[in-house]
Amino acid sequence: MSDYMENLTKMMAIWNTTDAAEKRRLTEESMEHNVHFVDPNHNIIGRDAFLKMVDQVQGEIPGAAYSRASEADIQNNHCRYHWAIHMNGELIMPGFDVTEVNDAGKIVKVIGFFQILERD
C-alpha cells in the first residue's frame, strides 16, 4: 500500500475509534502537525484541533461508522474519494473529500463536502 493510501486509511480509522491514545497515535502517524481540515461545519488547523473536532462529532453522532465509499484517485499529491457515515447499518450521510498529501504521503489538508453532487 502506498504511503498516502495508508495515511488515508489511518485517517478513517481515527473517526472509528473512541480510544484517545489510539486516535492520537493515528493522527501523528498520518497527518502533518499543521494539518488543515475544512468542511461545511469546521475550519481547523493542527492535530490537536482535529482531534477535538473528531471528539465533538463522535459525541454528536455516537456509534456512527465512517468508511471510504470509493477507491481513491490521486494526481499531483491530491486525492479524491467518496466517504459515508452509517448508523445501525443505515446511511446517514454520504460525502466527498479532496485531500492533499505531501511527498512523504502525510496528510496536509482535507476539504470535505457533505452529500453527493447532483447533475443538472
At 6-58, the pLDDT tens digits run: 999 999 999 999 999 999 999 999 999 999 999 999 999 999 999 999 999 99
Beta strand 65-68 with 42-45 is unpaired
Residue 93 has pLDDT above 70, yes or no: yes
Q: Is residue 18 part of a domain?
A: yes
CATH number, domain of 16, equals: 3.10.450.50
Residue among 8, 3, 67 nearest 35 (CA) = 8
Q: What is the Cα–Cα distance from 29 to 62, expressed in whole angstroms?
A: 25
Domain total of the chain = 1
User: Reduced to 3 states, what is the DSSP secondary structure of residue 89?
Assistant: coil
Given a cut of 80, whether residue 116 has pLDDT beyond it is yes
- Residue ranges making up the domain that contains 57: 3-112
Torsion of CA 107, 26, 116, 59, to 10 degrees: -130
Q: Is residue 36 part of a domain?
A: yes
pLDDT of residue 1: 56
